């Protein structure tokens, strides 16, 4: 029996939304699109108890114009439809890819006519970031005077892709990639549903393959359901009419790299290790290959970026100080734009780090100092290095003998800054930064 989502428990009495029902020949992901709030899975930060959309759903607030920002397959279109139904509003959907100003004006004119009869209109614009400034400007008057309630959906950061005037009149809500448990719930629901799902094809899939498929979907419900449909339909029924879907078939339909990659398993760490060791070895081609294996397999791009930042200091360091700048820039850009575009800064940083001279002097210097720090943890700080914050501390000798290097250059050579027991110790030498490979 399919597991119930948290939302199903919240809204057990919800009714179907007629405009959300897909035809029988539509793709599985479209057929299984939630028709009610009870069927909606995930995004508890928005629809959970006391959250912003839950308050609207429960009738404790009017539906404002919204910008729904999130990755593909996280429920943006579904939420827009369900919110329109809950608000008893007419739902008009436009795609920014195929629609222009003429379509917007026609939709707004129809909304004005509906408004005269007392019916509100929710205008849903999918991929609103693809509208140019003129097209977005055309929406403003209708949003401002309440002719339409705008719900825009975007996979891009609206701060950069939606004009300020629209943003100021809308509330931006961020949708998160669905959790693996949520994806698994949707898969099992599709397998069990006879009217909209795949139950009539009598699919048989073991639990581990379902879990692997949910994991490989990387938070995208559409990816999971599309792969599931292809796997079931491409499996011939046996003598009893059952379709026994194998792990091999699922791997083929979702993509072998994506399916094989397991962000919580050993292979995740094996791939990351291969990338780092290839970079350390200055093997450009191997580094690019392992980077691609991680990206194509569905690894979190920020995980990759963090590993590059670590290597930039640990294995390049002062041999090329720009390495850290490149890695840090790649990490910030990746955080800003996400995949797929983030593959470019990640690739650039990977190429730079692979080609950079290598030195682990930073690592060796710290751990040499760390070893002494642990062994001499009770060694007092020399009095001349202490700050005399109070008169009592000054009388006790704090700061006595300190020489200010900016006005007393000789202090750099003559004033000792290590504890007495460690005088003469060298953890780092200037020639260490040249970069001979040394992995002590």
Q: Is 28 within the bounds of a domain?
A: no
Strands 243-244 and 171-175: what pairing?
unpaired
Q: Is 360 within the bounds of a domain?
A: no
Domain with 255 in it: what CATH number?
1.10.8
Of 73-77, 255-259, 270-274, 399-403, the range with the lowest mean pLDDT is 255-259
Same-domain pairing of 249 and 275: no
Domain boundary among 260, 292, 320: 260
Strands 66-70 and 171-175: what pairing?
parallel
pLDDT, tens only, 187-203: 999 999 999 999 999 99
Same-domain pairing of 156 and 242: no
Q: Is 7 within the bounds of a domain?
A: no
Q: What's the sign of the alpha-carbon dihedral 317, 320, 325, 327? A: negative
Confidence (pLDDT) at 7: 41
Same-domain pairing of 272 and 256: no
Helix or strand or coil: residue 235? coil
Q: Is 29 within the bounds of a domain?
A: no
Domain with 326 in it: what CATH number?
1.20.272.10
pLDDT, tens only, 2-29: 444 444 443 333 344 434 445 667 899 9
Q: What does the mean pLDDT of the chain come to?
A: 87
Same-domain pairing of 145 and 47: yes
Same-domain pairing of 251 and 155: no
pLDDT, tens only, 395-426: 999 999 999 999 999 998 899 999 988 988 88
Q: Which domain holds residue 112?
A: 43-175
Confidence (pLDDT) at 15: 40
The neighbouring-strand residues paired with 171 are 66
Same-domain pairing of 85 and 142: yes
93 with 124: CB under 8 angstroms? yes
Backbone angles phi, psi at 121, to 5 degrees: -125, 130
Mean pLDDT of the region 304-332: 96
Q: Is 10 within the bounds of a domain?
A: no
177 with 218: CB under 8 angstroms? yes
Number of domains in the chain: 4
Distance CA 288, CA 394 (A): 59
pLDDT of 76 > 90? The answer is yes
Same-domain pairing of 119 and 209: no
99 pLDDT band (50/70/90 cuts)?
A: confident
Distance CA 80, CA 71 (A): 15
Q: Is 281 within the bounds of a domain?
A: yes
164 pLDDT band (50/70/90 cuts)?
A: very high
Domain with 79 in it: what CATH number?
3.40.50.300
pLDDT, tens only, 281-299: 999 999 999 999 888 877 8
Give percent above pLDDT 70 in the chain: 89
């Amino acid at each position: 029996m399919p597991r119930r989502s948290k939302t199903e428990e919240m809204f057990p009495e919800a009714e179907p939304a007629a405009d959300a029902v897909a035809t029988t020949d539509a793709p599985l992901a479209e057929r299984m699109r939630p028709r009610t709030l009870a069927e909606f899975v995930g995004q508890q930060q928005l629809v959970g108890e006391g959250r912003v959309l839950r308050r609207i759903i429960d009738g404790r607030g009017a539906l404002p114009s919204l910008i729904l920002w999130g990755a593909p397959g996280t429920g943006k279109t579904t939420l827009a439809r369900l919110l329109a139904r809950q608000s008893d509003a007419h739902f008009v959907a436009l795609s920014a890819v195929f629609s222009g100003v003429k379509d917007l004006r026609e939709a707004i004119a129809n909304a004005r006519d509906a408004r005269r009869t007392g019916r509100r209109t929710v205008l849903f614009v999918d991929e609103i970031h693809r509208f140019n400034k003129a097209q977005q400007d055309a929406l403003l008057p209708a949003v401002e005077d309440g002719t339409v309630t705008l719900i825009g959906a975007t996979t891009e950061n609206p701060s950069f892709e939606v004009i300020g005037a629209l943003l100021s009149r809308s509330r931006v809500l961020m949708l998160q990639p669905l959790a693996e448990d949520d994806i698994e719930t949707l898969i099992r629901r599709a397998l069990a549903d006879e009217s909209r799902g795949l139950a009539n094809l009598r699919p048989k899939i073991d639990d581990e393959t379902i879990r692997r498929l949910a994991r490989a979907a990387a938070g995208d419900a559409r990816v999971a359901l599309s792969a599931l449909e292809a796997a079931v339909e491409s499996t011939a029924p046996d003598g009893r009419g059952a379709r026994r879907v194998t792990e091999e078939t699922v791997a083929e339909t979702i993509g072998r790299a994506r399916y094989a990659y397991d962000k919580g398993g050993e292979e995740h760490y094996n791939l990351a290790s291969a990338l780092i060791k290839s970079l350390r070895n200055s093997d450009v081609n191997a580094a690019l290959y392992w980077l691609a294996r991680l990206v194509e397999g569905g690894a979190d791009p920020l995980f990759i970026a963090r590993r590059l930042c670590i290597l930039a200091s640990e294995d390049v360091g002062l041999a090329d100080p720009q390495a850290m700048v490149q890695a840090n820039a790649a990490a910030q850009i990746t955080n800003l734009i996400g995949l797929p575009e983030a593959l470019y800064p990640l690739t650039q940083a990977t190429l730079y780090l692979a080609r950079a001279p290598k030195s682990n002097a930073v690592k060796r210097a710290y751990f040499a100092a760390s070893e002494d720090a642990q062994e001499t943890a009770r060694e007092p700080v020399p009095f001349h290095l202490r700050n005399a914050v109070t008169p009592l501390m000054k009388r006790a000798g704090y700061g006595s003998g300190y020489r200010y290097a900016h006005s007393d250059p000789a202090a750099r050579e003559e004033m000792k800054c290590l504890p007495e027991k460690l005088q003469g110790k060298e953890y780092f030498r200037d020639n260490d930064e040249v970069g001979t490979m040394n992995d002590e």
